[in-house]
A and B are shown apart, each in its own frame.
Chain A
């Protein structure tokens, strides 16, 4: 770490240096949950089951799919998910 990569905090320092995760909702009632299949083998099995469980609770579910797990999601897909969902679940492992 060289000095040129230390910046001085311009704020009132009321929040931690490490950036916090976005706030998680207390409940899913009334929210739209997105399920993102990253196109990795059998991710759909996991997400199908999540969708089933959410359906049972009457929670609205949208399904999305990345073209390939080897690349980050296309910007248009990320923007679509951000516009249509409150919460997103993705299956990461196979």
Chain B
């Protein structure tokens, strides 16, 4: 506030017992040597009839005075605040008012109550109304007769499912989930290469259904998608199936309640569902990547609505983040350009050798059993399957090594025409062995419910590696 009247200001609410306790003192102060202004937050009956009492119905003054508690007493001299106290503390009030007998018959100290300005949902509304929050995004006025959900569909903002309408208050709340400034630019978002700000991410996170506490994960996912090696432009535009699969590692996954257990790749968990969806909506709305326009997928896959889960880190296996060079304490987002989920059913293998052979056989189907060195793979190993390896002393790295060995495939079976199938590798590989995956192309994570001898292959993009897309990992910060 630019200029304040000299004297005393008290902010109070009638619902606060401490404010009621000091009510008689305020009547006394109103006739004292210093001018008194009282702002009442909830009920004009408080101090009724006393001059200098103002009903702060819109809470503007309370907000502008940064009131956290009631009662708050402030002394103004020369238009500036020189002293302030909260609640009832006899010594403080006597010092601020200069009246050394004030409230001598009251208890020495009584804590106050929370200011109405800090009640849930009110702070953001006040910040918007009184202009302490500046958002850059265009304001779209929706007519009273329009349904907000329908308005979002009609403007082309959704992925085909309803979105949470991005009101200013919701976006302000979402931005409270990060310490980063709304105008910070994360980078140019493909395919249109539009500068993507933290604010635009927050708007799309609101629409996706995120809680503010998911924001650091969403921001890291968006930043990961902007890493050149991931090739988001190609992942989006390709006629093939892929979309970004979001894998979260580290303590944040548990902190926000992500699912790495039962039905980890499926529906039902808000954090999993909305974080993956937020990334997709940013690509759609900020990047301009809409299906049928620049997204040319022939079939796509249902993961393009959302595909996000946490790794189950409750075993001796190294989490993906640690394998990729981060500490165990770090929380990370890894993006893998993935297709759908292909189940591996093996309920009989009880030795790591047998189970690895099962996995290898199933992994041959990535892209096509007669293709190799094209798409990467994400192998999702369930707890019951991982136990077979862990009890035999096999680490993730040991399993990967074995799979790479088993996936040295006979070129004779892979060449064009072999098996009466025109698709296949060039005739030159006949008589040689061919690795199914490029070096580093086989990724392993552990997830799933505790019952079920099932794992899954998520096939990558047939343009995996430097030619197209490489999985990327980004640490989650603020």
Contact = CB atoms under 8 A, between A and B. Distances in A.
A13 interface: yes
Contacts of A26: none
A11 B165 contact: no
B203 A9 contact: yes
B4 interface: no
Interface in A8-65: 8-14, 17, 19
A12 B169 CA distance: 20
B271 to A, nearest CB: 20
Interface of A: 1, 3-14, 17, 19
Contact of A7 (B151, B194, B204, B287): B151
Contacts of B169: 3-4
Given A3-B169, A5-B148, A6-B142, 15 more contacts: A1-B144, A3-B167, A4-B167, A6-B139, A7-B166, A8-B135, A8-B140, A9-B139, A9-B203, A10-B281, A10-B286, A11-B288, A12-B192, A13-B138, A17-B140
A8 B205 CA distance: 12
A52 to B, nearest CB: 37
A12 B288 contact: yes
Nearest to A18: B140
A11 B289 CA distance: 11
Contacts of B189: 12
11 contacts: A3-B167, A3-B169, A4-B167, A5-B142, A7-B166, A7-B167, A9-B138, A9-B203, A11-B288, A12-B189, A14-B194
Given A6-B141, A7-B151, A14 B288 contact: yes
Interface stretch (B19-27, B152-160, B294-302): B152-160
Nearest to B286: A12
B289 to A, nearest CB: 11
A4 B148 CA distance: 9
A8 B285 contact: no
Contacts of A12: 189, 192, 194, 200, 285-288
B269 interface: no
B267 interface: no
A7 B128 contact: no
A20 to B, nearest CB: 11
A5 B129 CA distance: 14
Nearest to B202: A8
A10 B192 contact: no
Nearest to B169: A3
B137 interface: yes
B313 interface: no
A9 B194 contact: no
B235 interface: no
B203 A8 contact: yes
A50 B135 CA distance: 51
B68 interface: no
Contacts of B157: 10-11
Contacts of B141: 1, 5-6
Contacts of A10: 137, 157, 166, 200, 203-204, 207, 281, 285-286
A9 B152 CA distance: 10
Nearest to B193: A12
B125 interface: yes
A13 B137 contact: yes
A19 B148 contact: no
Contact of B137 (A4, A9, A14, A19): A9
B408 interface: no
B168 interface: yes
Contacts of B192: 12, 14
Contacts of B265: none
A14 to B, nearest CB: 7
B363 interface: no
Contacts of B151: 7
B285 A7 contact: no
Contact of A8 (B125, B139, B143, B287): B139
Given A1-B141, A3-B129, A13-B138, A8 B286 contact: no
A5 B139 contact: no
B261 to A, nearest CB: 32
Nearest to A13: B138
A13 to B, nearest CB: 5
Interface in B203-256: 203-204, 207
